[in-house]
Structure 1
Amino acid sequence: MNLMTSMSVETNNVFEDMSGVVDASFAVAEFDLDGKVMRVNDNFLALTGYDEDEVLGQYHAKFISNDVAEAPEYGLCWADLRAGKNKRVVLPWITKSGERKWVEETVGPIRDAKGTVVRIVRLGVDVTARHDSFADLQGKVDAIEHSQAVIEFDLAGNVLTANYNFLVAMGYSQSEVVGKHHSMFVDPEYAASSEYRAFWRSLAKGKTAARQFKRFGKDGREVWFEANYSPVFGADGNVCKIVKFATDITEQIHSLDDLKSTLESGFEDVDQSLCKFDQSYGDVSQSCRQAQAHLEVSTMVAGRLVSSVDETAQRLSELRTVADRAYEHAIEGDGAIVSLEHAIDVLRDCARDDAAIIEQINVLEKCIGESARISTELRSDLKAMLSRVAVVSLAIDEQGQITNQVRSEMHGIQTAIETSHGSFDTMIKASEEVAMAVGQTREASVVLAR
């Protein structure tokens, strides 16, 4: 924006003497044709902060900033004034204290009776507050123009104007959209709907609409805007047009769509993994149940085996006791046989002449000899049996220890299987919680993608 804005008006009017009304309303200064101060009023002095003797004879350039005074437009302005032209300008004045004030000046030549320009009069009004407010507003408008896509519509939805950002986003030129209806940017089915007509009726009544909007560019591609449709009210308080302020979020929407696809793919992989996990858990759980059932039977059999081994050991112990007694009796029988043999020898000596007795003694001796033989064999058999009983008892003792150890190990295995079963229950519960979390995350990703 130029530091000096002006509106030239060609005129031949001659300024008359200043009236009291003008003198009271404006900061008035009269200059000669070279731009030197000839007269100022109190308003001028109050505005600039100078005393009268400090300004008389000074050039007009003393009261404006150097950048304006040195600009070519400033010299041309004085040339136009000397040529008899009127000017209306807004200039940055610099007060005595160095403060910048914006002054709107109405400047014109004063002519003599012959029509010759003899001096220049400048009527000024302090517009600093208005200028600063306008500059602030213009700065905001410029910021919006540079950062957002802006398009204006009449109340019927016809395009009045569109800025660069909007045209680039949609792929159109200004001439291709001005005068066209907003419906050129939306889906034809939506444009023909009652919802779309209600949308524009609502805007025309002064209501705003702010959300994400899907639009279609010149090449038919989707364009997404985060936008606000705002009614603009005229001086009469009625809606005079609609302005749309928008930010192109197409890239973000596409990124969200890609994210959604990625998440969905990941969710499918997780679902498949969970299904495999569930299947594996079912197989393992079934195997555990079968193993537990077999183990229970084996434990029962082992228990019976232990009882059987204990009973067998007890019977062998009893058998060994009986065998020991029989062996002792056999030894005692050997002693008795020796005594009988000695008695027979005595009888034989006594019955040496009695053939009948000798014959009976011989028969008895034969029987005693046979008994001695049988007793010897029995003693040998009992000794062998005792030896085998000892070996079997040792084996049974070892088997009993092994069987007890097996039963203990089986009990440990059963405990481990039960614990594993509990762990699998915990794992399946965790997998269910994972599946639930995945489902919730999937729902969240759908909402996010909207």
Structure 2
Amino acid sequence: MFGLTQKKSTHTNYLKQAIDTSWAFIEFAPSGVILDANANFLQTLGYSLDEVVGKHHKMFCVREYTSSVDYKQFWNNLAAGQSNSGEFVRTKKTGELVWLQASYTPVFDQDGKVEKIIKVAVEISEMVTTRLESNWMKSAIDTGWAMIEFDPTGLITNANDNFLKIFGYSSLQEISKKHHRIFCDTTLTNSTSYSDFWAELAQGRVKAGEYKRLNKEGQEVWLYANYTPVRDTNNNVVKIIKIASNITDSVQNKENLNAILKTKIHQLSTELAQGSTAMDGKINEMRISVEEASSAITQISMGAQDQSRQVDEISRLLNEIKASSSKTNHKAHNIKTVVEQSTQKAQLGGETIQSVVSSVSEINNGTEDTQKAIDSLAHLSNEITKIVGVLSGVATQTNLLALNAGIEAAKAGDAGNGFAVIAEQTRILAEESKLNSKKIEGVIHSVSEHISGVIASVTKMKGNVQTGEKAALLAKNAFDEIHSSILNTFEQTSQIEIAANFQNESIDNSVQSIEKIVIVSEETAAGSEELASSTTQLNSGIGDISVSSKRMNQIAQELFEVISSINRSN
């Protein structure tokens, strides 16, 4: 018994080693709590053993699933001893989804109770993704394309609803196991090219293009299709997948259009030939007209250029006249300025001479008054001299009287002492009066001499003043004449300046007009040159059109002949 138990243990270890080599393995308690897991499982989900032991299986599932009734029932069934296997989506530690092909197997104890749940799994994420992508692709093809599958010999194995609908079949059973030739006419299927077509597909060559096929009723169906060989792992072609689009309407429209065009082109080619002949005649007429216009425009251009040169010369002469007029205007303005200054100075000189004349007249009047005053002074001096003479006589008489009184007082003795004193004082006064009279007489004599000199000077000054007054009057008359002449010159200069300004403005207007004429002449010349060039180019273009017209006429004739031959052959 012991040996049997040991043998089972050894077998179990081998089995576990085999599982650990290629499979992901994990153990759960009946409640779903994790008991153990191998390295493959931990690596697949991205955890370490310590991170998962003791935690519930729900850590590997999305929350929407773990909170559902199905998830609870899943673990209730396992705890009840029901196994569960299939494809399961789980969540890695990173949150990434992973697909597992797994088997949940309950393990019973000796009493027949579930002791634990063993899960053995393998990752199939890539396979599921490929399958899903294939399903998505097939769904996309089924939505808008017709698809049919054949074996390498051409027998039909599968077809989608779009293909069946295009060819008028109600179910796959109507065409399954039949050959592709049911869609073709006998002329094609009996040809070598049809046999080669399927032989090349069986060898793995892809075919694509437009193909004419027949539906269930024998009506034409045009497809744009791609025949793609599918190989197995041994590189052998195992089936042919055909994906196609119905282009029947387009092909039929093109055929109808070709038929319409064939008839229409025949009609149009006839009209084109006739129109080309008529157009060639019109083009010749246009060429003659354009050549005449080109010649006339060339002459106009030459005349415009000559006019432009003449106008340039006139403009140059007017500019020279304008420059000379500007100089004249400038000189006239300068003369006017000088004349204005001269007028002011002449007026100031006349006023000054008038002032001198007035002053000389006043001096002359003052001289006469002075002479009169001096004459009066001389007369008074004479009168004073006479009075002084009288006073001198009186002083002499008073001195004699005082002398006599002194004598009489001496004779009187003591009684005449007082009188003698008076007589003495009178005598002294008389003597002083006489001395003063002599001094006054000397002064008066000196004054008389000076008055005589002043009279002579005043007389001479009076003559000079009268002469100066005459000269000042002559100078005033001369300044009056100068002022009148300067005023006349000023008026003439103003007229010259006004005339020069008018001449300058007239020349400016003429220059501006000439400049406009120059611009117009240059534009006319340039326009004539451009027009001449354009007519030359037009003439050349008409020549090209004529050549093209002749060629078009030739082509129309050739087209007419070709279409006529086609119609005859049909």
TM class by smaller structure: 0.5 to 0.7
CA 1:437–1:107 in structure 2 vs 1: closer, same or farther (change >3 Å)? farther
Distance 1:165 1:233 in 2: 25
- Structure 1 position 166, deviation (Å): 0.9
Q: 1:151 aligned to 2:148?
A: yes
The code of the aligned residue for 2:58 comes to A
Q: 1:20 aligned to 2:17?
A: yes
Distance 1:129 1:92 in 2: 12
The code of the aligned residue for 1:201 comes to A
- Structure 1 position 226, deviation (Å): 1.2
Cα shift readout 1:90-134 (whole Å, capped 9, x = no counterpart): 222212232222222222111223443322111233333343344
Q: 1:189 aligned to 2:201?
A: no
The code of the aligned residue for 1:48 comes to L
User: What's 1:218 paired with?
Assistant: 216
User: What's 1:180 paired with?
Assistant: 178
- Structure 1 position 185, deviation (Å): 0.7
User: What's 1:169 paired with?
Assistant: 166
- Structure 1 position 279, deviation (Å): 6.5
Distance 2:164 2:548 in 1: 57
The code of the aligned residue for 1:197 comes to S
2:276–2:553 Cα contact (<8 Å) kept: no
User: What's 2:116 paired with?
Assistant: 119
Distance 2:232 2:28 in 1: 42
Cα shift readout 1:337-383 (whole Å, capped 9, x = no counterpart): xxxxxxxxxxxxxxxxxxxxxxxxxxxxxxxxxxxxxxxxxxxxxxx
CA 1:140–1:50 in structure 2 vs 1: closer, same or farther (change >3 Å)? same
Distance 1:424 1:141 in 2: 59
- Name the SS of the counterpart of 2:205 in structure 1: coil
- Structure 1 position 176, deviation (Å): 1.0
CA 1:69–1:163 in structure 2 vs 1: closer, same or farther (change >3 Å)? farther
CA 1:218–1:238 in structure 2 vs 1: closer, same or farther (change >3 Å)? same
User: What's 2:268 paired with?
Assistant: 270
Structure with greater helix share of residues: 2
User: What's 1:255 paired with?
Assistant: 253
Equivalent positions of 1:27-426 (< 5 A) are: 27-69=24-66, 74-172=71-169, 173-277=171-275, 426=547
- Name the SS of the counterpart of 1:96 in structure 2: coil
- Name the SS of the counterpart of 1:91 in structure 2: strand
The code of the aligned residue for 2:240 comes to I
- Structure 1 position 160, deviation (Å): 0.7
Distance 2:74 2:89 in 1: 15
- Structure 1 position 219, deviation (Å): 2.5
2:102–2:122 Cα contact (<8 Å) kept: yes
Q: 1:432 aligned to 2:553?
A: yes
CA 1:89–1:211 in structure 2 vs 1: closer, same or farther (change >3 Å)? same
- Structure 1 position 53, deviation (Å): 4.4
The code of the aligned residue for 2:202 comes to A
Distance 1:429 1:64 in 2: 85
> Quick check: 116-125 or 66-75, which moved more?
66-75
Distance 1:174 1:253 in 2: 27
Which structure has the higher relative contact order (CA within 8 Å, separation 6+)?
2
Distance 1:20 1:422 in 2: 98
1:29–1:37 Cα contact (<8 Å) kept: yes
Cα shift readout 1:134-159 (whole Å, capped 9, x = no counterpart): 43344334333333211111233221
The code of the aligned residue for 1:29 comes to I
Instruction: Give 1 or 2 for the bigger CA radius of gyration.
Output: 2
Unaligned runs of 5+ in 1: 1-14, 289-418, 443-450
CA 1:68–1:248 in structure 2 vs 1: closer, same or farther (change >3 Å)? farther
CA 1:270–1:72 in structure 2 vs 1: closer, same or farther (change >3 Å)? farther
Distance 2:27 2:74 in 1: 16
The count of corresponding residues between Structure 1 and Structure 2 is 293
RMSD: 3.6
2:270–2:556 Cα contact (<8 Å) kept: no
- Structure 1 position 430, deviation (Å): 5.4
Unaligned runs of 5+ in 2: 1-10, 286-539, 564-570
> Quick check: 19-28 or 152-161, which moved more?
19-28
1:64–1:91 Cα contact (<8 Å) kept: no
User: What's 1:357 paired with?
Assistant: none
TM, length-normalised to structure 1: 0.56
1:281–1:424 Cα contact (<8 Å) kept: no
Structure with greater strand share of residues: 1
Distance 1:148 1:184 in 2: 20
Distance 1:79 1:270 in 2: 87
- Structure 1 position 164, deviation (Å): 1.5
Cα shift readout 1:158-209 (whole Å, capped 9, x = no counterpart): 2111012211111112121112221111112322333323322232233332
2:225–2:242 Cα contact (<8 Å) kept: yes
CA 1:209–1:123 in structure 2 vs 1: closer, same or farther (change >3 Å)? same
The share of aligned pairs that are identical, in percent, is 30
CA 1:156–1:44 in structure 2 vs 1: closer, same or farther (change >3 Å)? closer
User: What's 1:327 paired with?
Assistant: none
